[in-house]
């Protein structure tokens, strides 16, 4: 098996849905980030074997988004591509698919990533309207074409947005986070503290210019008058007091999850350049780090929907032959502060370990080594781009701290969890 190196990474700024990127599609964002990654890394496009990309809320006019990214980015037509989806762990899945191909010697150089535009979600028509349109398309004359529409009521004409809800339980992600907060006894104060840290760490990363290496500037088409050069969700000035004043968003009466301690709906894209260690060496690259192990796991979505990381992390660590004590940095995707606190609690819990059939809990999470450059609450969460953002961000942080290992986790719809162990040398 070839060892897989992460050679470079890049993301667009992450911006609130309906703001700076509102006129761009997910494909635009994916194309832009891949073009610039290729230019910045100076990889010869002819060397690229494969591109794996994902999108969680699909663009219905470009469902094979990976291949469309190849074609619109001007990469050689021979670069084969496929699209993956694993909800919020989509670009982790993209990275693993490309890494597996590299490990097996089926590819030597690959791009993996994800893109999301929550400003441009597909808006559906109701089932009765869709049926009427299909029937009308088969009709042979005008009266026959009009007939199916006569049965429609005004409410059938209302557009239907995609739900950010669990299909089997009907609960929204936010409601599921509320459920976790209540069942695990996670207080509002603890959630707001996690949110505050997320903003403070991300603001520091921008202040110190660390993100300048990770985030490209995007001149916004079609006029190219404005250039977006920074995330617009990070709040340098937020405080526990300001966070404490926000009203619960999903359970107005007894809830603790607010706009301040949840990840917001976000637009953005991120990509990674992967190579076999051997090819990276031959092409003269010094890798940012290497993929040591990974695991995907799942739990019942009706139980604790966003607890997947606590199931996946022990498996990834076992596969890496490491324990939590050996890990220098932990980067946990912040869908909600309540989910981060719940997963940290599970890492440390004896009863959770017993539930997994393990003799010991994973271990105590050193908060000083958790999400040290900010997470999805402050930076934003363009679903399919988050995993690739995290991989690159943590690898750069590892270099600054001279750290050897990192554990990344992502929770995802359907009760899925992803965990990745990275090593720097
Ligand atoms: C929680 C959610 C409903 C909030 O949406 P929203 O109401 O549009 O959020 P806004 O950004 O407008 O914030 C609401 C208010 O909180 C304030 N606010 C948000 N974060 C803040 C912070 N860190 N500090 C201070 N104020 C803050 C905003 O300024 C705004 O105030 P205003 O009403 O006076 O303008 C939305 O972000 C959401 O659905 N998130 C979850 C996404 C999700 O499910 N992800 C899946 C994860 S798996």
DSSP 342-375: HHHHHHH-HHHHHHTT-SS------GGGBSTT--
User: SS3 of 230, please?
Assistant: coil
Q: How much is the average pLDDT of 139-162?
A: 92
Of 199, 201, 333, 411, the catalytic one is 411
Of 88, 199, 201, 392, the catalytic one is 88
Burial profile 127-157: b = 16 or more Cβ within 10 angstroms, e = fewer: ebbeebeeeeeeeeeeeeeeebeeeeeeebe
Residue 231 covered by a domain: no
Looking at the fold, whether 295 and 400 belong to one and the same domain comes out as yes
Residue 63 covered by a domain: yes
Domain edge (last residue) among 102, 136, 157: 157
Of 199, 333, 381, 392, the catalytic one is 381
Q: How much is the average pLDDT of 215-236?
A: 95
Residues composing the chain: 425
Distance CA 114, CA 267 (A): 11
Residue 106 is predicted with a pLDDT of 98
Statement: residue 150 has pLDDT above 90: yes
Residue 49 is predicted with a pLDDT of 98
Residue 133 covered by a domain: yes
Looking at the fold, whether 268 and 416 belong to one and the same domain comes out as yes
Looking at the fold, whether 43 and 136 belong to one and the same domain comes out as no
Looking at the fold, whether 43 and 134 belong to one and the same domain comes out as no
- CB of 263 sitting under 6 A from ligand 1: yes
Q: What are phi and psi of 408, to 5 degrees?
A: -115, 140
Residue 174 covered by a domain: no
Looking at the fold, whether 325 and 419 belong to one and the same domain comes out as yes
Statement: residue 163 has pLDDT above 80: no
By DSSP bridging, strand 416-423 and strand 218-219 are: unpaired
Quick check: is 411 catalytic?
Answer: yes
Distance CA 227, CA 359 (A): 53
Cis peptide before 222 (omega within 30 of 0): yes
DSSP 188-203: HHHHHHHHHHHHHHHH
Residue 350 is predicted with a pLDDT of 98
- From the CA of 262, how far away is ligand 1's center (Å)? 7
Distance CA 406, CA 420 (A): 8
Looking at the fold, whether 418 and 352 belong to one and the same domain comes out as yes
Label residue 22 exposed, middle or buried (CB < 10 Å: 0-12, 13-18, 19+).
middle
- CB of 335 sitting under 6 A from ligand 1: yes
- CB of 34 sitting under 6 A from ligand 1: no
pLDDT confidence band for 221 (50 / 70 / 90) = confident
Quick check: is 88 catalytic?
Answer: yes
Domain edge (last residue) among 137, 157, 177: 157
User: SS3 of 7, please?
Assistant: strand
Statement: residue 123 has pLDDT above 90: no
- 337-372 pLDDT, tens per residue? 999 999 999 999 999 999 999 999 999 999 999 999
Residue 160 is predicted with a pLDDT of 84
Statement: residue 289 has pLDDT above 80: yes
Residue 147 covered by a domain: yes
Who has greater pLDDT, 20 or 124? 20
- 10-41 pLDDT, tens per residue? 999 999 999 999 999 999 999 999 999 999 99
Residue 259 covered by a domain: no
Statement: residue 162 has pLDDT above 80: no
Quick check: is 381 catalytic?
Answer: yes
Residue 419 is predicted with a pLDDT of 99
Return the ligand 1 atom nearest residue 378 CA.
Answer: 23
Looking at the fold, whether 416 and 295 belong to one and the same domain comes out as yes
**CATH number, position 90:** 3.40.47.10
Structural domains counted in the chain: 2
Cβ atoms of residues 294 and 316 within 8 Å = yes
Q: What are phi and psi of 345, to 5 degrees?
A: -60, -45
Q: What are phi and psi of 279, to 5 degrees?
A: -70, -40
By DSSP bridging, strand 109-117 and strand 50-54 are: parallel
Domain edge (last residue) among 157, 179, 213: 157
Q: How much is the average pLDDT of 390-401?
A: 98
Residues 6+ apart with CB under 8 A from 369: 327, 328, 329, 330
Looking at the fold, whether 136 and 117 belong to one and the same domain comes out as no
Statement: residue 161 has pLDDT above 90: no
Distance CA 380, CA 376 (A): 5
Looking at the fold, whether 325 and 280 belong to one and the same domain comes out as yes
Residue 405 covered by a domain: yes
Mean pLDDT of the chain: 97
- CB of 243 sitting under 6 A from ligand 1: yes
Q: Give the domain range for residue 281.
A: 4-121+264-423
Q: Of the residues 17, 87, 264, 375, which should be mutated to test ligand 1's pocket, given the most ligand atoms within 8 Å of the CB?
A: 264
Looking at the fold, whether 291 and 361 belong to one and the same domain comes out as yes
User: SS3 of 276, please?
Assistant: strand
Helix, strand, coil abundance in the chain, percent, nearest 5: 40, 20, 40
Residue 250 covered by a domain: no
- CB of 173 sitting under 6 A from ligand 1: yes
Looking at the fold, whether 415 and 282 belong to one and the same domain comes out as yes
Looking at the fold, whether 138 and 75 belong to one and the same domain comes out as no
């Amino acid at each position: 098996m070839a060892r897989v190196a992460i050679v470079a990474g890049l993301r667009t700024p992450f911006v609130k849905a309906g703001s700076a990127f509102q006129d761009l599609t997910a494909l635009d964002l994916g194309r832009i980030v891949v073009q610039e990654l290729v230019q910045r890394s100076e990889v010869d496009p002819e060397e690229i074997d494969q591109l794996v990309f994902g999108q969680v809320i699909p663009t219905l006019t470009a469902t094979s988004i990976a291949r469309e990214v190849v074609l619109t980015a001007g990469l050689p037509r021979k670069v084969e591509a496929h699209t993956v989806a694993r909800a919020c762990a989509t670009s982790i899945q993209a990275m693993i698919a490309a890494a597996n191909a590299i490990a097996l010697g089926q590819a030597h150089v690959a791009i993996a990533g994800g893109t999301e535009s929550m400003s441009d979600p597909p808006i559906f028509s109701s089932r009765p309207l869709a049926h009427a349109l299909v029937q009308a398309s088969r009709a042979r004359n005008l009266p026959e074409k009009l007939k199916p529409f006569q049965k429609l009521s005004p409410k059938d004409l209302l557009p239907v947005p995609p739900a950010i809800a669990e299909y089997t339980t009907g609960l929204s992600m936010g409601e599921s986070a509320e459920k976790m907060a209540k069942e695990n006894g996670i207080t509002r104060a603890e959630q707001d503290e996690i949110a505050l840290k997320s903003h403070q760490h991300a603001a520091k990363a921008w202040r110190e210019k660390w993100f300048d290496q990770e985030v490209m500037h995007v001149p916004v088409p079609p006029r190219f008058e404005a250039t977006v050069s920074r995330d617009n969700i990070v709040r340098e000035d937020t405080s526990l007091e300001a966070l404490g004043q926000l009203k619960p968003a999903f359970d107005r009466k007894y809830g603790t999850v607010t706009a301040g301690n949840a990840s917001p709906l976000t637009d953005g894209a991120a990509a990674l350049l992967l190579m076999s260690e051997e090819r990276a060496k031959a092409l003269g690259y010094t890798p940012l780090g290497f993929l040591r192990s990974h695991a995907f796991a799942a739990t019942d979505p009706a139980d604790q929907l966003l607890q997947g990381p606590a199931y996946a992390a022990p498996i990834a660590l076992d596969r890496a032959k490491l324990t939590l004590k050996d890990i220098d940095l932990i980067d946990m995707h912040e869908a909600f502060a309540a989910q981060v606190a719940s997963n940290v609690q599970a890492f440390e819990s004896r009863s959770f370990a017993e539930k997994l059939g393990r003799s010991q809990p994973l271990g105590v999470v050193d908060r000083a080594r958790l999400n040290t450059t900010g997470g999805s609450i402050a930076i934003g969460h363009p679903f399919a781009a988050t995993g690739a953002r995290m991989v690159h961000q943590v690898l750069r942080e590892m270099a600054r701290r001279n750290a050897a290992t990192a554990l990344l986790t992502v929770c995802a719809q359907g009760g899925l969890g992803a965990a990745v162990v990275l090593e720097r040398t």
